Amino acid sequence: MRPPRAVAPATDFVTRCVVVLIVAVAGIGPTTSPAWAAPTQAQPHDSSPDTDHCPHRVSPPPAVDESEVVAPGSTTPSPLPVHSPPVGGEALGGCGVVADSSAGRVPERLTSAAWLVADLDSGAVIAAKDPHGRYRPASTIKVLLALTALRSGISLDKPVTATADDWSAEGDSCGMGPGGKYTMRDMMIGLLMVSGNDCAHVIARDLGGVDVTLTKMNELARSLQAYDTRASTPSGLDSAGMSTSPYDLAVIFRAAMQNSTFRDIIAMPNHPFPGYPKRPDVPGDVDHPGYLMQTSNHLLLEGDPGVLGGKTGYTDDAQKTFVGAVKQDGRTVLVVQMYGLSTADDNYWDQARSLVTYGARAPREAKVGELASTSGERATTSDGARASTSDGARATTSDGARAGVATTEARTSQGVAYQDSTSGWSVRILVGLVGLLVALLLLLLALRLFRRR
């Protein structure tokens, strides 16, 4: 048997290796998930879908029904091209959470696959998740229809005669009928307050028909630099080719809020909608009295302070969508939610409230991008950064530092944090180091036992 002194050098070497590994394992945690950054993994009650790898960069999530199946002989529209550089600044080209570190931790328990928080007045984007991801708008596209109609000079005092096509419109309706006395103002209010698809049909007819209206809506979207947006129905009912994004909805809503008529209507909690007489073609029918419509925006309906208005939406394919604005703590906060749901203990409206509060409390200088101006000028970040929408895009901050638009949490010179799969590599490295540490500890134990023999 070898003398003990021959084993000592090997034992000392293994001991030094163990110490080095302990230091390495202890130091890896803080560098991969800094306290100021957004979480790299879903938090305990957070059911927001993972978008870090850009599953919806080109097209919305798969449909769950046959609403987007085209008619025989028709062609499914090709996806809209992905704009490069991303409108609003290169950081908004990421697909995970992007947030200014100075704004603090983003709200938890968000179910939306994509969302955005911005300052309505300045246009500064404070934080977002998958801001340019493509999703179905559902009835939030009615904001674009309303703005298209208002910019076309539609007369709100114009009398409206309802047709069978109007009151037969699929989905939510205001309840029009033959012989009712309506005005275009009733249609516009019904469109925005209760998502009346019958009202959308009337407005589209007044603009020249569905096809002409869709052309006008999509031209307006492009003029606003809402390049992720294509309306394929005026009402927001799912149809092949329909898409928008949190960024685009924010831009469109911000433009609409600059129209005083839209701003007045979207802030209305209720409105008396006219009834219509009994229908002679329906046996046993009775008169249909008017009623008081109430907004579908629960922030406004429930009396939350400072609510300026908002538009809701829902279809089976789009899930819940919302865009709205609230003035809180002296700041007007614009929020967008897309592809989300309420859960048993996590109401969608409470999620909206948490986003509003987060935006209101953020420092005024907190900014990760900006909403395109309504004048049609290209929007960039404050330092004029431009970038490709490719996953490997690089960003130039105001001090010239370079930063990747990968979605891992990495601090740029402006404190912007990203989420990415790179955190997964950190976990693998950590697990590997721990495994190696265990192996060395076992080896050290074996050598010491051998030495005692």
**Residue 118 identity:** A
Question: Strand, helix or coil at 128?
Answer: strand
Q: Which of 142, 216, 320, 367 is catalytic?
A: 142
Question: Which two tokens mark 310?
Answer: 């908002």
Active site (annotated) includes residue 195? yes
Residue 314 near residue 348, CB atoms below 8 Å: no
> CA 76 to CA 78: how far, in whole Å?
6
Q: Which of 67, 139, 239, 243 is catalytic?
A: 139
> Which helix (H) or strand (E) is 304 found in, with range?
none
Residue 391 vs residues 54, 80, 107, 408: alpha-carbon distances, Å: 9, 18, 26, 12
Query: Using CA atoms, how far apart are residues 427 and 418, in angstroms rounded to an integer?
Result: 17
- Please tell me the distance from the alpha carbon of residue 1 to that of residue 30, in angstroms, as a whole number: 47
For residue 359 the two structure tokens come to: 């935006």
Q: State the catalytic residue, choosing from 67, 173, 195, 235.
A: 195
Residues facing residue 310 across a β-bridge: 324
Spell out a b/e string for 168-199, using b for 16 or more CB atoms within 10 Å of the CB, else e: ebebbbbbbbbebebebbbbbbbbbbbbbbbb
Catalytic residues: 139, 142, 195
